[in-house]
Structures are given as C-alpha cells and as structure tokens.
Amino acid sequence: MRRPGSLARNLLLSQLTVILVGAVTLTLVAFLITPALFTYHLELAGETDQIVQHHALQALASTVAVAGAGSVTAAIVAASLTSWFLVLRTTRPIDDLASAAQAIQRGEFPEPVSVATSQDEVAQLVTSFNEMVDRLRRTEESRLMLLADLSHELRTPLATLEAYIDGLEDAVLESTTETLDTMRSQVARMRRLTGDLAIITAAGEHALELHLAPVTCDRILDVARAAASPRFEAKGVTLALSTPAYPVTALCDEARLQQVLANLLENSLRHTPAGEHVLMSASVERESVVLEVHDTGEGIPVDKLQLVFERFARLDPSRTTHDDSGSGLGLAIAREIIRGHGGDITAHSAGLGSGTTMRIRLPLAFSGAPESEHRSGARLAIRRNL
C-alpha cells in the first residue's frame, strides 16, 4: 500500500508542477507581451486608428484566452494521464521490490517480482533482485541440508565414543590398545569431517586460495601414483598410467589437484575389488587438459551420476559409510576445487557392474604435440603398469 509522501505521489506532483509552470508561463506571455507586439505590428502595417486597434486587441485576447484555455486544459489532462501511467509503471515494481525485501528481512522468501517489460532499468533491477532471491533461497536450502547432514554424520562417531567411554567407566571395557585405537579413529574421523567442511565452505564462498602454475601431466600423475601405490598394492588392485608421448602442461594448483586425485583414487579403490585395475590417464582435447581416473569396479547407476558430487551423497541407502573411509565430502570438495580452476569434473558409468570414469578438464598451459595432432585431436599415449 502506498503511503503519503511515497514515490508515486512525489513523481506525480513533480509532473503536475512542470505542467503548471508551463501554463503560467504561457498565460504571462499571452497577456503581457503579446498585446504590445501585436499593436507594434499594426502600426508598422499603417493601421493607426485607435478604435481599430482596440477591437483587434480584444479579438486577439479572446482568441488567445479560448485557445490557451483549451490547449492548456488538454495538455494538463493528457500530461496527467501519461504521468500517472508512467508513475504506476515505475512505482508498482518498486513497491513490489520493497515488499519482497521486507519479507526477506523477516526470514521469508517471496515469489519472484513480476515486471511488464524487460527493456528498461527498472526491469533490470527486478531481474537482478529475483536472481538474488533465488540464490539466497538455494543457499539457505543448502545450509539447512548441510546442517542436517553434518548432524547425521557426527552422530555415529559421537555415539561410538560415548559408548566406549561409558564402557571404560563401568569397567565393561578394558583400556587396551585396540580400544584406544578405535576411539582415536573416531576422533580422527570427526577432525577430518570438520576440516573437509571448512574447505568446501571456503570453496563455496570463492575464498579457497589457489596458486596456479604450469605443471606437467607426467608429474601430476606420477605424484598421485606414488602416494596411492601402497594402498592399491595392499588390496591387490592394479594401478596403471596412460600419459601423452609429448609434453602436456596444465595450469593448476598442484597441491589442490593432488588432493582431488587422491579423493578420486580413494573412491576407486574403495569400490574396486581385488584383482581388478584402475587407470589414470592424461590427454589433450582442444584447449583443455583431460585427466581421467577409470576403474573396473562397481559402477554407478546412470540416473545417479550427478548425485555423486553432492555433499554426503547416498547412492545406496543400505550401504553405510561409517567405516572411517571418508567424510562424505570428498567428491563435493573435488568439484569445488576444479571449478575454482575454471575447469569441470564429471562422472561417467554405463551402470552397475561396468566401472566408473571420473573426468577432469583443466586449462591447457602448453602442449608439445605436433600441429597436425592438435588439429586432428589424436592422442598418443604410452602405458606404464605398476
């Protein structure tokens, strides 16, 4: 509801003031200056008779008064209607924006504000406001979901610690190395969870610090292989590399990229049985470096491929993740880090039992491939098995 002194009333009063000033100016000119000019031109034409001049001035005054009154009235009516239309068109979306902003202040998320046209500044303001409200809504939904998921994830290690502490107090459990290791693992799990949460929060707020520099793909994959080899060998899963035969350099933060690859390799190892293999590869496609981690493990249902990058994603509700194998944030962190590089990460699988491929695209810093290979997009690779 518009209040006294509102923008609508002020705009309308401003328009009427301009119209009134114009009408007063026209009246002053018509009745103060016009008679003298008219008499002057009659004398120049040789008409000096006072009676003739008097009647001519009266005729002029009557004509000017009637014409002026009619034209001024018509101008006031037309200008008032036009001004009122413009005022409504301008102030209505502004009033709606004010109401929506007050709703947000109350903690509510209003429906999008509508606007009649998309060609003026008011429409651009409304569009930007609607986009801001939509982003706030999604952020709030994500925050509430994150809090709920975090509460769920912390419940198990806390319950485990509480049970062990009660058992020690009641002398049901002995303070053995195994007992202490179990308690220590739950504490480590909570520490890892809070650390990962801090990383993904910083990434989501674009506050994750990245130090970009050219790094060769050979170095990237060799470092990742060296770090993961002991766990792969212990489980009996083969880890292989496929790298370009020519120098390929990616523009990246090497430490953060190694964190991403470690998460991908850990996931592949977790879901790949003994005797199978995981392949890391690098290639060039146009202006991008493509890094892939392909496993021959369990695979992912096609309709759930996008879910794997969500926080605390559960592809199989019956499968527990409380095995101290991760925080449930690894792939979500990986996506935020890669997006921070200006790249992208996607999951590919033909379904359960067909394995999974995680594909990373990063900006290409340098490729030593011949020009003909750049044009054709051909890949030259060598494979080294561990």
Q: What is the pLDDT of residues 56-75, one digit of tens each?
A: 777 877 777 777 777 777 77
Task: Provide the CB-side half-sphere exposure for 115 (13 A, CA).
Answer: 21
- For 122-273, list the strands marked E by DSSP: 213-216, 238-244, 248-252
Tokens 């209607």 sit on residue: 81
Three-state secondary structure call for residue 279: strand
Sequence-distant (6+) residues with CB within 8 A of 307 are 313, 315
Three-state secondary structure call for residue 362: strand
Write the CA distances from 104 to 2, 100, 137, 327, 352, integer angstroms: 19, 6, 10, 34, 44
Q: What is the pLDDT of residues 73-132, one digit of tens each?
A: 777 777 777 777 777 777 777 778 888 888 888 888 888 888 766 566 777 888 888 888
pLDDT of 326 above 60: no
Give the pLDDT band of residue 328 (cuts 50, 70, 90). low
Which of 386, 311, 92, 341 shows the shortest CA–CA distance to 211? 341
Amino acid in position 104: I
Q: Do 298 and 271 contact (CB within 8 A), yes or no?
A: yes
Looking at residue 319, what is its pLDDT? Answer: 43
pTM exceeding 0.75 = no
Packing angle between helix 254-270 and helix 217-235, nearest 10 degrees? 30
Q: What is the pLDDT of residues 177-213, one digit of tens each?
A: 888 888 888 888 788 777 777 776 666 666 567 889 9
Three-state secondary structure call for residue 208: coil
**C-alpha to C-alpha distance for 133 and 256, rounded to whole angstroms:** 32
**C-alpha to C-alpha distance for 175 and 163, rounded to whole angstroms:** 13
Give the pLDDT band of residue 264 (cuts 50, 70, 90). very high
> What are the φ/ψ torsions at residue 194 (nearest 5 degrees)?
-65, -35
Tokens 């969870």 sit on residue: 193
Q: What is the pLDDT of residues 21-34, one digit of tens each?
A: 877 887 777 777 77
pLDDT of 371 above 70: no
Helix (H) or strand (E) holding 211: none
pLDDT of 224 above 80: yes
Ordered structural domains, the chain, with CATH: 7-110 (no CATH), 140-204 (1.10.287.130), 213-385 (3.30.565.10)
> What are the φ/ψ torsions at residue 295 (nearest 5 degrees)?
-125, 160
